[in-house]
Structure 1
Amino acid sequence: MSTILGVFMPRRLVITKPGSPSVLDVIEFDMPSPKDGEVCIEVHYAGINFADTLMRLGLYQPRPPFPFTPGYEVSGIIHSLGKGVKNFQVGQRVVAAMPTGGQASHVTASVNRVIPLPDEMSLEKAASIPVTYITAHHILHHLGNLKPTDSVLIHGGAGGVGTAALQLCQWAGVSKVWATASGHKAHVIKKYGGVPIDRHNEDFVDLIKQATNGRGVDHILDPISGENLKRSLKVLAMGGKVYTFGMSAAAPTSKRSLLKAYFAWRKTPKLDPLKMMSRNQGIFGVHMGTWNDEEVIAEQLYRIMEGIKTGKLDPVIDSIFDIEDAAKAHQHIHDAKNIGKVLLKFK
């Protein structure tokens, strides 16, 4: 990291072109200036999500043109204030949900996307909240109107969104929850009240049908898509809802393969609205990065913060990588080694 007259230059992660983790680079840039109604945040931690790895592979939309800086969530302290900002102050600890560009040492954000942190909350845990918990909360509550009597199937139950969804189900008093994951991650799912399904050695369709006497479940969270989404529809109950929020099936490894992505896309079911109508079922595509109702985002962030302050929610942090090791962080996620959230550290 270089300095100008003793001042450290801001740095940001850049995806230079589509490809393996080797295409990631860290570059210096000029200090950003907040516009009216914005703050500039000195970032201490930024979250990484599977969507970032798919964008790096060129398999995720929407995304900025290459080269660009990814990142939807940050925590840190306020560096400077834009005009008209009255409810924040320089040096204040905050968390922010970013539309993109969050994996940088300094970012600007609309005050509508920024929330002050209570003293008892660490910056690490704060950075684990915006994408995973807002996605899970948006699915289960804003879209799903989750009730204690509902049943839920969570694919990728040991990941960031998965562990957040398990905790939200517990908080809502939902007892019928199943979650798929690698067998060695079963303890995490059990910890948060779910029934683990080994995604490598067990058939979730058979298990769900047996457990529900053929009825199926009311809510299915699917970040995998492809064949997995097609099979998920087989266990969707009458009046049930499926939420698709990713396509990890298109990136089984860290290397870019348009052929594998194409086959995953080909296996994704072509939905028939009339057939779904007969069973009163629904399917939602969820992408919080494109959701533009900032009031809804803020409401959900405050609700999530309430859950954390009362001990109902507890972000699961798998690992923290220095920004210079971002390629290792991406590979860690590709290898499905993480349980919970992976963070990048700037301080």
Structure 2
Amino acid sequence: MRNIPEVGFGFWKVDKAICADTAYEAIKAGYRHLDCASDYGNEKEVGVGIKRAIDDGLCTREELWITSKLWNTFHAPEHVSLALEKSLSDLQLSYLDLYLIHFPIAQKFVPIETRYPPEWFYDPEAAEPTIELAPVPLYKTWEAMEALVESDKVKQIGVCNYNTGLLNDLMSYARIKPTMLQIESHPYLTQERLVRLAKDYGLAVTAFSPLGALSYLELEMADKTESVLEQSVVKAAAEAHGKTPAQIVLRWGIQRGNAIIPKTSKVERMKENLALFDFTLSDSEMQAISGLNMNRRFNDPGHFCEAAFNRFHPIYD
């Protein structure tokens, strides 16, 4: 089974106006792993960038690893293939390398013709809009994901934002086992036990938000004082290796054995984020960076669902 490239490019919050060019430039810079999702609202633009890169001979489709994710409103078995077909159409692809359940949260179905991507509110025009849940068990969604593999439209399947309990449960009933767990992980949220459990089950792990707070400043979900790049152990390692603090933190991520999906719109930063393979952090440097853990989760439905979408809905507690 093919392994995921260790450093990918994440498309969460990449503005549609620059997204096609960003996808093209990322491939040109050397990225072969692109992390997408229905909910990011920019898969059409990513698809334009991918097609242009392939047409220009920068790569072949087979050299790319494309991930997308099933949104919460498509959890019912009859809607899973519908969601996949929409992503494939937008991305201009005949198959995905990896398809993930985005959150272990089933929401009420919103037809594609009504609103796409559906996002979190069931009806944004309601007097008091809120998240509306649907009674769909995760095992039913997983059965529909397995059918996608059997249709050859998806090479591998996996999950995002699962905890240890859900992972243990999934492995008890999965006929086609997940190959990937994608989670928030950075030096402030190392998730050691969850990562260990996933690997014990034979899953690879992808860490999103590998630089921590930087992804969340504009959303006001983090504070500038929470930047891991300002930590003395990170700065000391950067000086010792002649690298930037960001490169140190990203190297820590892959040296733990995880894939990572940083994002940037700047070409020079794209190249910098890929330049992680000509140095190795020492055991003491790795331990010092891991020692920064404070279980600080920036992407937490237990906080943002109530704050932004008028419904209290924790999933990690």
Q: Same fold by TM (over 0.5)?
A: no
Q: More strand per residue: 1 or 2?
A: 1
Q: Greater Rg, structure 1 or structure 2?
A: 1
Tell me the TM-score normalised to structure 2 length.
0.31
Q: More helix per residue: 1 or 2?
A: 2
Tell me the TM-score normalised to structure 1 length.
0.29
